[in-house]
Structure 1
Amino acid sequence: MADSSQNRPLPTGEGAIASGDRAHAVELRGVVKRFASFVAVESIELKVEQGAFVTLLGPSGCGKTTTLRMIAGLEQPSDGDILIAGRRVNALPIHKRNLGIVFQNYALFPHKTVFDNVAFGLKYRGADKATARRKVQEALDLVRLPQVSDRYPSQLSGGQQQRIALARAIVFEPDVLLLDEPLSALDANLREEMRVELKRIQRELGVTTIFVTHDQSEALAMSDRVVVMRSGVVEQEGTPETVYNLPASAFVADFLGHSNLLQGTVAGIADGVAMVTLPGGAEVVAETGARTARKGEAVSMVLRAERLLLGERFDSDGGVTVLDGVVETVDYLGLSARYFVRVGDMRLQAINPIDRHPFREGDRVALRIRPRDCVLLPPDR
């Protein structure tokens, strides 16, 4: 299908500015991407504030990388508008969008030195030699690799190559920095180190950043806002705390962290809490959150694994739910353990810190659930 949006002229002057007093750094308005009959991205609406760190999060095939590539100009939207700093850029080629991009494989030139790799964007923009030297050194200082300008990519570790790719992306002061799973090729320890470094650099520069990942821990640790995608649509957008603690769907609850999804029937509701009867007859007190529910209605609830506390016994008071169970499986994690506990017909998971020794398989335990730790999910969309 032809892209009808390509025929509209680029706005100029005041018309180039999005609604409001100040344009958003990036805005997507009803953006759609089709590949033949397959819809990879379906009518996305997104506003990215100046200086924000926004993560597109979701499983493989959810449309997050396709969305990033459309912002970059590597893919053309089938419909809708993409605005950068209030200017519609649908038909603008990648080299005119002033974007810094770091790809998963870094895409460094193997035959060029680190200096020439980092300086590439500056030379393309016509910077003189003195300016290029100064800016390259500033970028290398920022990524904490000031002494490697004469080396080649093959002489660097994976983490160093990642830093050089980042230096190349920021050296010309882009309006927006786009990061397409840049940490996925690194080992676990280096990934943690580099995500801290990435966030530090982004904060120091104040550059608007859009980050693509399938790793929930990266998204939660680094982002100002998280956009959870599924099958080409946005399931939920919000701060990391909101998306994690108040998931908008069972998919979001399951994708972020370790969750127990419980099904039950509302036995009563008052003052923002609901008494829910589980299939086996046990009753759980849960917060309603933004959800409205009626007595007798079937509901779904999310209970995070780290909020489910295990012990030898608990007193049931103050609306706290106490259930009895048997430990079936233990995953020892060092400072904590992940338990799978049989409670009637349910199998619940709990992640608890360890004082000395974890519970053992076959141990009888009590499970403590506070109302604020079990939240009703919105109805399925």
Structure 2
Amino acid sequence: MTIEQRMEKLEKLGKFLGQFKISGIQKEEDLSHNEPYFSEMLAQIEAAVHHNGWFTKENVLFSLEQWAKALTGEQLQKWLSRYDFKNVTPKTVGIIMAGNIPLVGFHDFLSVVVSGHKALVKQSSNDQLLLPVIADYLTAIAPELKNKIEILPNAADGPSKMTNFDAVIATGSNNTARYFEYYFSGKPSVIRKNRNSAAILTGKESKEELSALAEDIFRYYGLGCRNVSKLYVPQDYDFTSFFEAIYSWNPIINQAKYANNYDYNKAVYLMSQYQLLENGFLILKEDKSMSSPIATLFYEKYEDREKLEEELKLRREEIQCIVGNGASEIKFGETQHPNLWDYADNVDTLQFLTEKI
């Protein structure tokens, strides 16, 4: 297949995913090969919700909807036009996926498929139900890809071992990354580690901006690397406006797993006699760490904006993205709406796939 043909198939995949929205699931009757995959996707959405307590239906549909918005002809053209696919020699690329949020490894899957390589996928047991349906639909509309996609089963007695691959893209914690680096040392690889996102506040933000920031904090319960887990605020910052603006997210405390984390972390902090700010569903703790626990948001005060930006440059290996009103920062509410060219860990996956393997 040419790159243009692969782009065309991914655009059709985007239309398939576009049937599943938070605002409502609506079947498109004239969509090619829609059955039985529409029904199967509905079934697997419900199954994913029961399989993983963090995968609420709203969050699963949010993920599917964002991918539908990304897989348009215009977005695909803008993403892929900067690469040369003519001299790519097809290889087998192993993809080890995380499972912290729905379809977190989907971008790696797309990158391998669109570049002409074979995707050998090892899914997390926490997120193993949605991708197989998407892959089946893709091979239904593009039979040429049938031999280009292999998803290893997660059997009851343990996950299948990944063998016979030429390169690897692996995502995990800092601890598993060290294992990956050792185990895959003889192969071209992209190894991703823990990252978190931060927001820089000035105290001049509007209520609308702070409300949008709440989306960056709470979407997926804060489990994604693009979720804001740390605030930087001026020395005299008053959190009253912040707490008022995020209050619409208060129903999150009704989710049992989130509430358990909230209660546990609050108890631990109080027993340790830490000074806290909290509103019944979010704990604010002053802390220099970048990665905060579930239901907790760390904050740190700053005096000089330029010095802060220099400090954050030194911590760039810990940071996925920074939210704020600066020229180089992501706008409030946009962290979970990445473009196709916004690469995890700032590593250009397609450059790796087209030039380095």
Of Structure 1 and Structure 2, which has the larger fraction of its residues in helix? 2
Q: Greater strand share, 1 or 2?
A: 1
Structure showing greater relative contact order (alpha-carbon pairs closer than 8 Å, 6 or more residues apart): 2
The two structures have a TM-score, normalised by structure 1, of: 0.30
Structure possessing the higher radius of gyration over alpha carbons? 1
